[in-house]
Amino acid sequence: MTEKLHTPVIAWFDIHARDLPWRRPEAGPWGVMVSEFMLQQTPVNRVLPVYEEWLARWPRPADLAKEAPGEAVRAWGRLGYPRRALRLHGAAVAITERHGGDVPTNHSQLLALPGIGEYTAAAVASFAYGQRHAVLDTNVRRVFARAVTGVQYPPNATTAAERRLARELLPQDDGTAARWAAASMELGALVCTAKNEGCGRCPIAPLCAWRLAGKPEHAGPPRRGQTYAGTDRQVRGKLLAVLREAHAPVPQAALDRVWHEPVQRARALDGLVADGLVEPLPGGLYRLPQS
């Protein structure tokens, strides 16, 4: 079963892979790492312009490490989940201090960087260095759930069984394994999508356990939907937008204008301060973090 999946998926990828800047040789390991941080829970079309601006400004980790962390938050713009910007800045500082400014090749060294978990370490090792690692994002998990396990959707959180299956499906050769990781991810992004799956375009449709079972409806726990309007996330975004656009400390009154509900607004601001995304100053002033 394993090799029967590898060959058609990789052949499909060879033809249909999107030409994305982080897949080009000139991106280098740093470009791959930046893309992986930005692409978490954020679609490609939103990431592309920010990615291009980021790499033009900070082509190496040391370039970013020289800047205040608040500049990373400012450049992050409206990508969402801005703590990722702080984590990427922290990783750049660690790479500069511990590894001479070069993204480490070793998986365990990648995992030891601040803000980098198992997924990102495996993705950078695989996509930047061609190593053999199981790279399990939402798209890959959905492909494996359908093609191998025979269910419509994977569990809400990655399980030990999924990790075990991903390792079992890995090709033995490093280069082929890295290509498989990218190809299975692209298949989930373009064909085996969460809605309106394109089985007619899928290279492994004849082997897909879920399709062969008649596409049974999801029987697990309800899938988490993402809401935004009216949430603390939206308020946080509005507060950060004011601070990103300002190049001097901002008074409380300027922040108060962005949201009508004072309790929620105060809670959102307190959360931003606690997360290190906003720095309070004497006199009721606020700014993006400088250290």
Angle at 111 between CA 188 and CA 69, to 5 degrees: 95
User: For residues 79 and 38, what is the distance between their CA atoms, to the nearest angstrom?
Assistant: 7
Query: Phi-psi category of 143—alpha, beta or left, where left has phi over 0 and alpha has psi -120 to 50?
Result: alpha
Work out the widest C-alpha separation in the chain, in whole angstroms: 67
Cβ 82 vs Cβ 73: under 8 Å: yes
The letter for the amino acid at 229 is A
The Cα–Cα gap between 146 and 212 comes to 10
Nearest-angstrom CA–CA distance, 260 and 277: 22
Residue 53: active-site member = no
Distance CA 287, CA 211 (A): 53
Residue 142 near residue 194 (C-beta atoms within 8 A): yes
End-to-end CA distance of the chain: 52
Whole-number Å distance between alpha carbons of 26 and 6? 27
E strand spans, 221-276: 250-251
Give the pair of three-digit tokens for residue 145: 């759930």
Catalytic residue among 3, 26, 36, 245: 36
Residue with tokens 């809670």: 267
Catalytically annotated residues: 36
